[in-house]
Amino acid sequence: MRKMEKVVLAGKMLKGSILSKDWQSILTSAADFRYSQLGEISLVYPLPNGEGSLVVMDDIPYLTKEGSLAMVQKFFKTHRMMDYRLMKHTCRLLPALPSKKIPIVNAHFGLFPIETPENSVWLNPLSIVNVQAQSSDSLVELTSGLSLELPIHRKSLTSLASKAVYTFATYRQDYSAVLRTAGLPLDFVSLPDTPFGRLLERQALLQRWLLTPGRFFDRYKQLEHLQWFRSLREKDFDTLDD
């Protein structure tokens, strides 16, 4: 396993699959990611050679051999969080939630893909400091100081981030110890005082609930139970007759 070193991300910029000096600096100094560790993930970025991903957790970069979606799924499964397959089905069954480029959330943070999930960059919307439009691309600055040039329009990125925050708020409302039916989405999510955080605060989607409290939880649990039931084999039922 690679030795852990202090890696400074501030001032570095990543651009697509171009193996720049900044990429090389990260690749040669980042530690291997351990799935048992807990923390807030701000970024999952496919490596330029297509053989793994860069993971930024708590502003520290790590490397993993898994692709971006596989990494996200493995991390959530390791810590017994949401199942992305069930998350997708749940969101598609509830009109208020995103049906494409679906995010994944837990009690502490959320991540959303900017493209097809399998090999996409995944971002934590609350880790974005600022987004600048550059022709058809966006220049994204993260709380770690790392910058990313991404192939997505600023408006589209803002929309995806808003949907991820709304989904995050829905999760936190439905999975709270006591279901709260009052309040607004932003009562359940603390947006950072950054240019992008203030932009999200003004988004129409986050001004009111479009979903009845508890529906997300109920639908996800129904699918979870159905998946469990289908996984049972005949011999599992045979033991009931012993």
* Model pLDDT for residues 58-72, shown as the tens digit of each residue: 999 999 999 999 999
pLDDT tens-place string over residues 104-125: 999 999 999 999 999 999 999 9
Token pair, residue 104, equals 């994944």
Is 86 a member of any domain? Answer: yes
Is 241 a member of any domain? Answer: no
Question: In terms of residues, how long is the chain?
Answer: 242
Q: Among 15-24, 47-56, 73-82, which is the least confidently predicted range?
A: 15-24
Is 240 a member of any domain? Answer: no
CA distances from 224 to 63, 83, 228 (A): 31, 9, 6
Per the CB < 8 A criterion, the answer to whether 53 and 43 are in contact is no
Is 194 a member of any domain? Answer: yes
Question: Dmax of the chain from CA atoms?
Answer: 69
pLDDT of 14 above 50: yes
Q: What one-letter code names the amino acid at 120?
A: S
Per the CB < 8 A criterion, the answer to whether 122 and 103 are in contact is no
Strand partners of residue 60: 57
Eight-state DSSP code of residue 137: E
CA-CA-CA-CA torsion sign (16, 141, 101, 229) = positive
Is 6 a member of any domain? Answer: no
Is 7 a member of any domain? Answer: no
Range of the domain at 61: 13-222
Is 191 a member of any domain? Answer: yes
Q: Give the CA angle between residues 229, 164, 215 to the nearest 5°.
A: 45
pLDDT tens-place string over residues 180-202: 777 899 999 999 999 999 999 99
Structurally, the chain folds into a number of domains equal to 1
Region of 217 (left: φ > 0; alpha: ψ -120 to 50; beta: rest) is: alpha
Is 77 a member of any domain? Answer: yes
Whole-angstrom Cα distance, residue 69 to residue 84? Answer: 9
Distance of CA 5 to the CA centre of its chain: 25
